[in-house]
Amino acid sequence: MSVAASPAGGASAAAGGGSPAAQALMRRHRLRWWEALPWIAGMVFYFAFPAYLGFGCDLLVTILFALSLDLALGYAGIITLGHAAFFGAGAYTVGMLATYNIWTEPITSLLLAALVAGLIGFLSGLVLLRAKGLTLLMLTLCTMALLEQAANMAHAYTGGFDGLPSLPIAPVFGVFEFNPLYADTQYLFALGVLFVCFVFVRTLVYSPFGQSLTGIRENVLRMHAIGSPVRRRLMICYTISAAIAGIAGGLWAQTNAYVNLSALGLDRAATVLIVLILGGYGRLYGAFIGAVAYLALEHFLAQIYPTAWQLGLGLLLVVISLFARNGILGLGEMLWRRYRVRRVKP
Amino acid sequence: MSETRLETRALSRNFGALKAVQAVNFKLDAGARHALIGPNGAGKTTFINLLTGVLSPSHGRVLLEGRDITGTTQAERVKLGIARTFQINRLFRGLSVLENICISVAERAGAAASMFYPAGRRTDIIDESMHLLHTLKLAETAHYRVSELPYGRQRLVELAIALGLKPEVLLLDEPAAGVPSAESHIILDAIERLPNDIAVLIIEHDMDVVFRFAERVTVMVSGAVFAEGTPREIEANPQIREVYLGQAVQRADHG
């Protein structure tokens, strides 16, 4: 039927890499002009809002944390509500190393934070990733609660409920001091760390490995049937995601110069999930859009309704999950596609 | 006499008291076009699951080219050249048709573990996937999302993912199931054009398909092999007409 009816030109143009589908796959990993925008915006923010750089640091840390979650949840489809476990592990690694003056160099501290969080991710993944769906959700929640209680009880080392204040952080590259009153160094450092981590995650998701993670998310049974080592792939992904969450946590500790139990709490885990859903998961830039939208909403809603600002956020989430399952970015993609179709048709 | 690719010896699988597959001795020859038929609940799909390693047998052995593969995993058997399709589509629904194939081809080519090289630069994988779509006449739908395709085309994608593994043994679990009859010929054409060297085992309810496609037919009833022979012998067997074919043949006569 339509095979015979298809234009002969279509078939010959589709040979090799000529077809639009093949072209799209071959071009997908290439940089597009708009991908420079977040980084330009980041630098503009630095110069335009010097009084808000502390807020800017929070924003960058949230983006990085959401990016780590996107790798596990958005790409591999690992449903987790306990990602703050790794954020906290990274934060406490940096915090304890600094408080006891063992290690205060910021870059290597972050690498150690990644190592510790990645190790916890690997070990918990050995157990967790056998489960699926709600069981997985509960187990990730339990892992986080266990770590939170451990941090609470070991107050001789972690400061317990009070946390570890006034962390000494050595200058970046031995030159640029972290300024306690004015977060300019912290902001640029956080921007740099986010950039490096982002390049890493971006490379990963456009690799064949990233493609196979998407396959696992879309149909895990089929991945088994085509001989994919699903467990191993998930373990690698979860460990990397945990390590990046650890870097985000370490960065949070460094930019605030303190660590407390809020690093490990359900609040933080739920917030990052909301950020990612708001922005759009499995989309790389959803973390950016979501973090900006969430923090901006928090700011403005808190001004309008200081007592019940979360109500507005809740309503927005209901609207997003009912009408825009793929978040703000998904909504944008849909509108853009409609616009292009309309432009091509007449 | 052609050589045997896949063989089972006294293969059995129990689910509690239910003997889903009972002492099945079965041979699939190189280049075979073999059909497995039987009423619902006869154990056909369980048998496929035993062949692919999704289930492990209660008794008996599975041999590939004479080698005992009973203890190997599903993934290992795929690497050894056994691929399957599913009765109900198992596709990567949110991805494009081409991506669906690329995932399978990349896995077979051993590229899927590489983390720091863009998938888009593996033009060998993309070209091979496109080529496969051409042979199945799916090339012009390559950029569609799978969930946007009509069901018959989705069944072709189901087949294409398995072919991306370059199998030596292909197990098709009701490839035309659920496809409206107006579309079913595209599936049948594709199956008829499969490379000759692939040994194909097809589970099918549609007798027209079986008799058009198969050179050998095995009939399973209640988990055991009831009969085996050429389509003509099976058709002529009065017992089979009674237990299984009766309805189908009658339906064909009236239809």
Phi-psi region of A284 (alpha: psi -120 to 50; beta: other; left: phi over 0): left
**For A7, nearest residue in chain B (alpha carbons):** B140
Q: Which residues of B touch A21 (CB under 8 A)?
A: 96-98, 130, 142-143
**For B137, nearest residue in chain A (alpha carbons):** A3
**For A229, nearest residue in chain B (alpha carbons):** B75
Nearest by CB to B103, from A11, A215, A229: name it: A215
Secondary structure (DSSP) of A238-288: HHHHHHHHHHHHHHHHHHHT-B-GGGGSHHHHHHHHHHHHHH-TTSSSHHH
Buried-exposed string B197-213: b where 16+ CB fall within 10 A, e elsewhere: ebbbbbbbbbbebbbeb
**pLDDT for position A20:** 87
pTM: 0.90
> Which residues 6+ apart lie within 8 Å of A163 measured at CB?
A95, A258, A259, A260, A261
Asked whether B143 and B98 are in contact (CB, 8 A), the reply is yes
Nearest by CB to A29, from B75, B99, B120: name it: B120
- Window A:74-113, CB contacts with B under 8 Å: none
**pLDDT for position B178:** 85
For B18, the enclosing helix (H) or strand (E) is strand B18-29
Nearest by CB to A29, from B118, B142, B186: name it: B118
| Region of poorest pLDDT, from A23-27, A140-144, B8-12, B91-95 | A23-27
Mean pLDDT of B41-52: 93
All domains of chain A in start order, with CATH: 33-344 (1.10.3470)
Mean pLDDT of A279-283: 92
Which CA distances in Å does B32 have to B66, B192, B194, B213?
Answer: 16, 12, 11, 11
Structure tokens at A195: 């950039």
Q: Which residues of A touch B104 (CB under 8 A)?
A: 226
Establish if A199 touches chain B: CB-CB under 8 angstroms.
no
- Report how far Cα A116 is from the mean position of its chain's Cα atoms: 18
Nearest by CB to B142, from A21, A26, A208: name it: A21
**pLDDT for position A11:** 39
Establish if A228 touches chain B: CB-CB under 8 angstroms.
yes
CA neighbours closer than 13 Å in the CB half-sphere of residue A284:
18
**For A204, nearest residue in chain B (alpha carbons):** B115
3-state secondary structure of A311: helix
Percent of residues, chain B, with pLDDT higher than 90: 75
Q: Which residues of B touch A228 (CB under 8 A)?
A: 75, 107, 112
Mean pLDDT of B197-212: 88
Count CB atoms within 10 A of the CB of residue B69: 18
Are A225 and B127 an interchain contact pair (Cβ–Cβ within 8 Å)?
Answer: no
Are A21 and B96 an interchain contact pair (Cβ–Cβ within 8 Å)?
Answer: yes
**pLDDT for position A8:** 37
Mean pLDDT of chain A: 89
Establish if A181 touches chain B: CB-CB under 8 angstroms.
no
Nearest by CB to B127, from A6, A16, A29: name it: A16
Specify the length of chain A in residues. Answer: 346
Q: Is the pLDDT of residue B206 over 60?
A: yes
Nearest Cα neighbor of A241 from A58, A41, A85, A19 is: A85
Helix, strand and coil percent figures for chain B, each rounded to 5: 40, 25, 35
**pLDDT for position B244:** 64
**For A28, nearest residue in chain B (alpha carbons):** B120
* Residues paired with B28 in a beta bridge: B6
Q: Is the pLDDT of residue A332 over 50?
A: yes
Give the closest-approach CA distance of B184 to chain A in angstroms.
11
Mean pLDDT of A246-259: 95
Q: Is the pLDDT of residue B125 over 70?
A: yes
Q: Which residues of B touch A233 (CB under 8 A)?
A: 113
CA neighbours closer than 13 Å in the CB half-sphere of residue B173:
20
- Chain B interface, mutation test: which of A25, A200, A230, most B Cβ atoms within 10 Å? A25
**For B100, nearest residue in chain A (alpha carbons):** A215
Establish if A200 touches chain B: CB-CB under 8 angstroms.
no
**For A205, nearest residue in chain B (alpha carbons):** B115
**pLDDT for position A4:** 38
Give CA–CA dist A241/A86, Å, rounded. 9
Q: How do residues A33-52 score in pLDDT, each as one tens digit?
A: 999 999 999 999 999 999 89
**For B138, nearest residue in chain A (alpha carbons):** A3
Give CA–CA dist B159/B180, Å, rounded. 17
Q: How confident is the model at residue A167 (pLDDT cuts 50, 70, 90)?
A: confident
Parallel, antiparallel or unpaired: strands B67-68 and B82-84: unpaired
Establish if B79 touches chain A: CB-CB under 8 angstroms.
yes
Count CB atoms within 10 A of the CB of residue A305: 12
Establish if A209 touches chain B: CB-CB under 8 angstroms.
yes
Establish if B111 touches chain A: CB-CB under 8 angstroms.
yes
All domains of chain B in start order, with CATH: 4-90+166-254 (3.40.50.300)
Most confident of A181-185, A332-336, B135-139, B175-179: B135-139
Mean pLDDT of A146-151: 94
For B33, phi then psi, to 5°, come to: -125, 95
Nearest Cα neighbor of A279 from A315, A329, A205 is: A329
Which residue type sits at A250?
Answer: G
**pLDDT for position A270:** 93
Nearest by CB to A206, from B52, B120, B140: name it: B120
Establish if A3 touches chain B: CB-CB under 8 angstroms.
yes
- Chain A interface, mutation test: which of B143, B154, B169, most A Cβ atoms within 10 Å? B143
Nearest Cα neighbor of A298 from A282, A287, A314, A284 is: A314
Give the closest-approach CA distance of A208 to chain B in angstroms.
5
Are B140 and A10 an interchain contact pair (Cβ–Cβ within 8 Å)?
Answer: yes
Nearest Cα neighbor of A277 from A269, A287, A292 is: A287
Establish if A31 touches chain B: CB-CB under 8 angstroms.
no
Are B112 and A27 an interchain contact pair (Cβ–Cβ within 8 Å)?
Answer: no
Specify the length of chain B in residues. Answer: 255
Establish if B153 touches chain A: CB-CB under 8 angstroms.
no
Q: How confident is the model at residue A312 (pLDDT cuts 50, 70, 90)?
A: confident
3-state secondary structure of B225: strand
For A176, phi then psi, to 5°, come to: -90, 110
Q: What is the ipTM of this complex?
A: 0.89
Percent of residues, chain B, with pLDDT higher than 70: 94
